[in-house]
């Protein structure tokens, strides 16, 4: 395919999606497997316990950042966000029907990505009742323009007893590859723990941050015991953590772990935990995405370094 033909195809796909402007992806960036910024290395991976499939450590959350329409100026930045993720070896893109237009935006942009997007697509079911759950998941397939979704999660455990049999059935059929549950609040930890103990799941998505470490005591060890992969949402503590750290000097040892910003260090703190599989900081800013993915490279933090950061925040 020539450059002109590729551009024409992208334009047609874009117009078909109802997008008002053409947002092209940088082919060289999208196909890159290494760069000077990452020392020619590949992003580190962690194994999904239920399958032994390797999963890149740093992904992307689409909450707020991708809840924008094509005529919004912020939309124009989103192709570069995905480029930054994919170019550095990241694949996980997480969304939800709860996130407004995020699923639709994600589907639009991935459909015009050339070469074919390597995304590991994760989304959620967030409603009550079997019939409504099926309808919502079918809509997610349509909005994401996907024939198969890698990970379907029951959002905030809403009506999980009803949805879990459907997820298992769809996994057997090959429509989804993995199943999981999510939550984001400590008040739900008791229920999360109970479900983990009684049900066989592939993934748990849970809130975990340097200043939000409640899952360390029971839930993360339980995930290791039960062979459940862990995705960390709210890895910056909802934004308050970075505000508190802004302006503070980085520890003297940051060069030893190949980071140069507080966001990278906050993500590496999580990735140093052996139960954590992937972190999904949310952003609609390519500069932030480029910074975040660097946490997936270089040495992980030692226990002493983790304790130093805990002491700093506490």
CA dihedral sign, ordered 292, 43, 32, 203: negative
Query: Is the pLDDT reported for residue 280 higher than 90?
Result: yes
Q: Which of 279, 267, 286 is nearest to 85 (CA)?
A: 286
CA dihedral sign, ordered 209, 215, 217, 220: negative
Q: Is the peptide bond before 115 cis (omega within 30 degrees of 0)?
A: yes
Give the Cα separation of 133 and 278 in Å (integer). Answer: 26
Domain ranges of the chain: 54-237+275-293
Summarize pLDDT for 189-218 with one digit per residue, the tens: 999 999 999 999 999 999 999 999 999 999
Using CB atoms within 10 Å of the CB of residue 194, give its burial: 0 to 12 exposed, 13 to 18 middle, 19+ buried.
exposed
pLDDT band, very low/low/confident/very high, at 303 (cuts 50, 70, 90): very high
List the single range of 27-31, 259-263, 268-272 with lowest mean pLDDT: 27-31
Sequence-ordered alpha helix ranges (H) in the chain? 3-16, 27-31, 78-87, 102-111, 130-144, 160-173, 189-198, 219-226, 240-245, 262-271, 286-292, 303-313
Residues 6+ apart with CB under 8 A from 37: 290, 294
Sequence-ordered alpha helix ranges (H) in 175-275? 189-198, 219-226, 240-245, 262-271
On average, the pLDDT of the chain sits at 88
Report the pLDDT value the prediction gives residue 224, as an integer from 0 to 100.
Answer: 98
Q: What are the backbone dihedrals phi and psi of residue 207, each rounded to the nearest 5 degrees, phi first?
A: -75, 130
Residue 270 three-state SS: helix
Q: Which of 133, 178, 173 is nearest to 152 (CA)?
A: 178
Q: Which fold has domain 54-237+275-293?
A: TIM Barrel (3.20.20)
Summarize pLDDT for 81-134 with one digit per residue, the tens: 999 999 999 999 999 999 999 999 999 999 988 777 899 999 999 999 999 999
Give the Cα separation of 284 and 66 in Å (integer). Answer: 6
The DSSP code sequence of 8-50 is HHHHHHHHHTT-SS-----HHHHH-S--GGGTTPPPPEEE-TT
Summarize pLDDT for 51-67 with one digit per residue, the tens: 999 999 999 999 999 99
Tracing tokens 């949310």 back to the chain, one arrives at 282
Q: Which of 264, 189, 272, 192 is nearest to 228 (CA)?
A: 192
């Amino acid at each position: 395919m020539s450059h002109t033909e590729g551009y024409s195809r992208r334009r047609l796909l874009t117009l078909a999606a109802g997008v008002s402007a053409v947002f092209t992806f940088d082919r060289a960036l999208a196909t890159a497997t290494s760069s000077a910024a990452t020392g020619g290395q590949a992003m580190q991976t962690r194994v999904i316990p239920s399958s032994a499939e390797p999963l890149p450590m740093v992904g992307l959350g689409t909450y707020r950042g991708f809840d924008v329409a094509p005529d919004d100026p912020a939309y124009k930045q989103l192709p570069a966000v995905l480029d930054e993720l994919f170019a550095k070896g990241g694949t996980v893109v997480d969304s939800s029907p709860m996130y407004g237009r995020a699923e639709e935006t994600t589907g639009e942009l991935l459909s015009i990505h050339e070469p074919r997007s390597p995304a590991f697509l994760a989304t959620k079911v967030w409603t009550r009742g079997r019939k409504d759950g099926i309808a919502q998941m079918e809509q997610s397939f349509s909005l994401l323009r996907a024939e198969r979704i890698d990970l379907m999660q029951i959002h905030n455990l809403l009506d999980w007893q009803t949805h879990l049999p459907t997820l298992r059935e769809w996994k057997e059929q090959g429509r989804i590859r993995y199943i999981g549950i999510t939550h984001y609040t400590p008040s739900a930890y008791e229920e999360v723990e109970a479900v983990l103990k009684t049900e066989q799941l592939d993934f748990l998505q849970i809130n975990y941050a340097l200043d939000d470490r409640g899952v360390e005591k029971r839930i993360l060890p339980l995930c290791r015991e039960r062979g459940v992969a862990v995705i960390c949402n709210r890895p910056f503590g909802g934004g308050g953590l970075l505000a508190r750290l802004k302006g503070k000097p980085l520890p003297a040892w940051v060069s030893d772990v190949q980071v140069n910003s507080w966001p990278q260090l906050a993500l590496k703190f999580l990735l140093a935990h052996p139960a954590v599989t992937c972190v999904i900081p949310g952003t609609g800013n390519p500069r932030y995405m480029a910074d975040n993915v660097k946490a997936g490279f270089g040495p992980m933090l030692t226990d002493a370094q983790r304790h130093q950061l805990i002491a700093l925040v506490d």
